[in-house]
A and B are shown apart, each in its own frame.
Chain A
Amino acid sequence: MSQPPVRWVWSGPGRLACGICVAGYAYWATGLRPFTVSAYVAVGIPVAVVGCVAAFDWHARGPRAQGAQMVGLRGVLPWLLVALIAAGLEGLGLALGGRSSTVPTMSTVIDHGLAWHAFRLVLFCGWLLIGSAPLIRTLRDHGSVS
């Protein structure tokens, strides 16, 4: 009897095939010119897939999600500090016009890296990885059902 599709995705060759497809898609997507319809579509496709999973099928069933309890303010203080510094710098940069060389915004700093296709590719793969976490969790949950 053949393997169910979800099980196949979690097999060794399945993971390799998924990795190659994702890398190919990322290479294509990051080679597109910005502000074009194709660039918006290339970003929109994964957003649509993950959005559907989030809206309809992404139940918090994994052990990590089930064990997710409310977090105290003290535990997230370092993150609040980082967010506060970032918001201050971003606000200052935007107040100076957004393209200031003295106080650049985060976008301006990242734009220097985005000039390289390899950097865009790595960043896009990281972005896909973060966003696809719920999709992977859903597949894993379905796959583990015997």
Chain B
Amino acid sequence: MANPILTSGVRQNLLTLQQTRDQQSVIQNRLSTGKKVNSAIDNPVNYFTSLGLNDRSNALTGLLDGISNGIQTITAASQGIDAISKLVSSLQSTIKQAQADAAANRPSAIGGTSSGGTPPATLLGKIGGGIYTGNKSAKDLALDTTLGGTEAPASYNSTTGVTTDASLGLSAGNITLSIKAGNTTFVSTTLTATSTVRDVVNEINRSGIANASVDSSGKLNVTGTGSGTLQIGIAANATAATALANSQSDTLSQNTVLGLPLTTANTGIAASAGNSTVRTNLINQFNDLTKQIDQLAKDAGFNGKNLLSGDKLSIIFNEKTGSNQAKLDVQGETITAANLGILQAVSGTTVTGQFNIQDDNALNNMSDILTGALTSLRSTSSTLGSSLSVVQTRQDFTKNLANTLTTGADNLVSADSNAEGASLLALNTRQQLSQTALSLANQADQGVLRLFQ
């Protein structure tokens, strides 16, 4: 059989083991013969030290109750935060539900039909009147209509309608399309006399703040993408600046060519607030959830201390006073729906602390507030978590400390320094190959100490 190869660590341990055994046999010999070499430590001193240490152990055990209460208080607050976070998530989905039902509240306009004249004041309006009998659908005809040129084609006939592509008669020059929704303004100057209604529709869609389409009867439909008032106007003029100004004027715009009222250019189309019944129905759900947040925060206390009501928790780790006292202060915060920035939902006019659930902007704003509230709750929760782990470690340590003191103090009275020397050597022998020593050595090999070998 090959000789086992010993690592340097094990060899070192075995060497110490042998030395220790030699020393031990000397002592054991002495102890068995009763020949004590050294006078024992003063027993009365030991007795009083032991008393003192026992007191200290009792004091520590007393502190453990407080520490344990502290842990319960922090845990209760932490669980409260978790539950409140879930409620805030529910609020978020309520807001999402409300946001999904936006269409009913959007400002929209449909190009009107014109009843008068031959040719009618607006081509689109005329086609919408339903007297077109040509070989193109009313929708295509409307889309293919050019902006410039003479208004309406010569081939217009009140009985047969239009048979060739028409034009809206916007005078040549700069054609400006202005759209404004809420605080966003969009101005298009790319349209020319040869552009068609299709180009106008595309420009409106490109704005991002309004959608346009031409329906099967050739009417222009415009809808805002938000719930703010929508202004849309078109005007042509030799001067660009005038075209722009006219396109935003209730009197000077040339909206009638598109079948839209003149006032659409500046007064605008107001959002039809309060139309969404889905949103109205969500008001109660939203406000109930916010009430539950307040309620949960009030119930998150333990033993009279509530970290979610702004209470301060002091956990004391030793029995000292003044600057020698080791303690951890956990400052709670008052958590309410209002403090998290969450407003009450109403439909229509709002006062401070409320938001209009029918208003898209208010909904977006509330969605941001809820995201912020979640972030702030998460940070509170992590603060509580780290306090909790500090306190738990302390509890563990203090428990062990009290145990060591009690067992040690009990043995102290009968301490005999000779026997102690022998016991230490015996302990050393036992420890050489013990699991604990091995773990300790492993630990030491992992850190910076490994560089010291």
Q: Do A and B come from one complex?
A: no
Q: Which positions in A face B, CB cutoff 8 Å?
A: none
Spell out B's residues near A (CB within 8 Å): none
